[in-house]
Amino acid sequence: MAMPELTLSLQFARFAEAAEHRSALPRGQVARWIRRALDVPGEITVRIVDAAEGQSLNRDYRQKDYATNVLTFDYSQEPVCMADLVLCAPVVAREAKEQGKTLAAHYAHLLVHGTLHAQGWDHETGEEDAEAMEAREIEILAALGLPNPY
């Protein structure tokens, strides 16, 4: 199966644990995870942030005053998927630990999740949509050799 083209920008904010997160996110691996979730060519920026930036973005754009694991800002779905995916490193690390996953495996799941959101998938519109999105995530992660994240 030919994978869609991807233009990827991978950014890391400055924070104490940035080196750990950078080592869990080799550029080639990040591109592979995102491309597997794309149905069309993509132009995607991935930014890894600290808790303060994550909380500020979530508060300003979703009116939720806490840091969340991944935020998706989608600008275009077709013919090219254009989006920013912002992942909050401390939240991702905490969740990975709580769920008994490696940091890389949890990032893979969240990048797939965010990429699906960027293409219009939405788990907050109803149970049927949530189940469909979850099933698609499981399918993509299995193709990447990663276990069911749920």
- Which is it for strands 70-76 and 81-88: parallel, antiparallel or unpaired? antiparallel
When pLDDT is cut at 50, 70 and 90, the band that residue 95 belongs to is very high
Flag whether pLDDT at 90 surpasses 90: yes
- Domain spanning 6-143 has what CATH number? 3.40.390.30
CA 113, CA 136: separation in Å to the nearest integer?
9
- Map residue 102 onto helix, strand or coil: coil
Place of tokens 């979703």: 62
Q: pLDDT digit string (tens) for 30-44?
A: 999 999 999 999 999
Give the start-to-end residue ranges of the domains of the chain.
Answer: 6-143
